[in-house]
A and B are shown apart, each in its own frame.
Chain A
Amino acid sequence: MRELYTPNHSAVHRIDARVKVIFTLAFIVFLNLTPSGAWPAYILFFTWMFSLSLSSRLGIAFVLKRSLLALPFVLAALPLVFTGPAPLGQIPVLNTPSLTYSVVGFYRFASIAIKAWVSVMAAVLLAATTRFPDLLTAFSQLKVPALFLTIIGLMWRYLFVISDEVTRMLIARTSRSATAPGSNRSGGSLFWRARVTGGMAGSLFLRSIERSDRVYAAMLSRGYTGQPAAQKTTRLQKKDLLALAAGVILLVLLWLLGVITGG
């Protein structure tokens, strides 16, 4: 498993993490407050995010591929197409008009899909241009409770360890998944394979719990008390504040445009 952060030396990478965090949150909030069908505003939101992605030098393919994470949200909105209010249209299936769809519902669906997609793009851009420790520091300077950050930090740290563990288990299983000499069938029944996978998940769960006990013991023995170490807060520089203010004002303007043009 690879982490999302990609070290480049672009202007986007160099921005103070706090500015990026606040701007990304504001961007996502205003984008999603924009009413449905506000196409001009969507185009501008998208263009903005697209140009930021370009200037981050991550490569457009990188950002677009990762923004596919929005797919579940898009799929969740799909029923709107068929359950929205009149006017209703018919889609012919096998030459007989049978599938009813709502035009308004379709507009709503498209709006949600675009919003979800561009929001995920923004989140991907934030995560890929900011080192994870910097993100955590930024959140803590923005007064997010330390306990949450400790949990997120440990989770991120051990996610990689556990994903390595999963890889090793899968390799070990693969090397025992063989065909008997002189036979062509192998694989076992679906039920049996599901049982095996369940067993693997259970054993992984046990191992993770025991590991967490060991990690906690090691933390305690190095003096962990549950209180985070005090850290120095540097004030945001004037130019960072100005950039952030300009960004948020622009977001508000875009949102107003959306309110005027949207349905």
Chain B
Amino acid sequence: MEPVIEISNLSFSYPDGKQALEGINLLVQPGEKIALVGANGAGKSTLLYHLNGIFTGSGMIRVNQLELNKNNLPRVRAMVGLVFQNPDDQLFSPTVYEDVAYGPTYQGLDPHTVREKVALALKAVHMEDYAQRNPYHLSSGEKKKIAIATVLSMQPQILAFDEPTAGLDPRARRELIDLLLELQQTMIIATHDMNMVEQLTPRTILLNHGKIVADGPSLDILRNDRLLMTNGLI
């Protein structure tokens, strides 16, 4: 099977000169669920932001055989749904409906199709009754689900999450993990939540100072206390 994401020799440094990613090589197969772990500042979010071209480092990224470059950015963005850590950054419309409809509307789809896609996306996150609510006044867990719906409405094959369980109460966290288990898309999840990694993602990639230091079955990595200790995860 062709890999859905192919990254070779990706390096990136911030404008202030700080090296954020160095020599990243990565193959992701369709349907895989992968955890991206590492201490704060290890480069997890930076790597996620490369998947849909928010950041552009040196090296090559291919999404669905399509090499990421300026010309096909809009197409790649339709394939990779990025869910940000703070849902408030992602939800900016007066109603949940309009927020979920943003992606399809921007794509210029006709109103009927947009309505269908919004309904499907809200159904997928079990939030059908929230369409006319104001996203600003929802709870953190509800906002998170709506944020996921806003990218699901574009029907991406790949979902990228930046710390999805951060700041959620235990029930909201459990519901979110259940939801992520239900969704069939390829997933890359940057997180510090090791319990979620154990439950949800068979494969783990460990980053430290912008480099991949381990890439393998989650259970092996989670049991390697020495590895977790040297990389600031316990």
- Where the two chains meet, the residues of A that have a C-beta atom closer than 8 Å to any C-beta of B are 165, 168-169, 171-181, 183, 185-188, 192, 196, 199-200, 202-204, 206-207
Contact = CB atoms under 8 A, between A and B. Distances in A.
A202 B99 CA distance: 14
B185 interface: no
* Majority-rule SS of A interface residues: helix
Given A174-B54, A176-B102, A178-B77, A185 B92 contact: no
B221 to A, nearest CB: 28
A165 to B, nearest CB: 7
28 contacts: A168-B86, A169-B90, A169-B92, A171-B49, A171-B84, A171-B89, A173-B92, A173-B102, A175-B52, A176-B81, A176-B90, A179-B78, A180-B107, A180-B109, A181-B78, A183-B107, A185-B108, A186-B74, A186-B107, A188-B106, A196-B92, A196-B93, A199-B98, A202-B94, A203-B92, A203-B136, A204-B92, A206-B136
A173 to B, nearest CB: 7
Nearest to B90: A172
B93 A176 contact: no
- Among B77, B92, B107, B136, residue most surrounded by chain A Cβ atoms (within 10 Å): B92
Contacts of A175: 52, 54, 77, 80, 82
- Among B74, B80, B107, residue most surrounded by chain A Cβ atoms (within 10 Å): B107
Contacts of B128: none
* Majority-rule SS of B interface residues: helix
Contacts of B92: 169, 173, 196, 199-200, 203-204
A199 B135 CA distance: 11
A177 B52 contact: no
Number of contact residues on B: which range applies?
A: 20 to 34
Contacts of B98: 199
Contacts of A172: 82, 84, 89-90
B134 to A, nearest CB: 9
A207 B76 CA distance: 31
B75 interface: yes
- Among A179, A183, A206, residue most surrounded by chain B Cβ atoms (within 10 Å): A179
Interface of B: 49, 52, 54, 74-82, 84, 86, 88-94, 98, 102-109, 136, 150-151, 154
The 8 closest A-B pairs by CB, nearest first: A178-B78, A179-B74, A178-B77, A180-B107, A200-B92, A168-B89, A172-B90, A185-B108
Contacts of A207: 88
A196 B102 contact: yes
Contacts of B91: 203
A172 B54 CA distance: 9
Contact of A168 (B52, B76, B84, B108): B84
Nearest to A179: B74
Nearest to B153: A176
B90 A179 contact: no
Given A172-B84, A172-B90, A174-B54, A192 B105 contact: yes
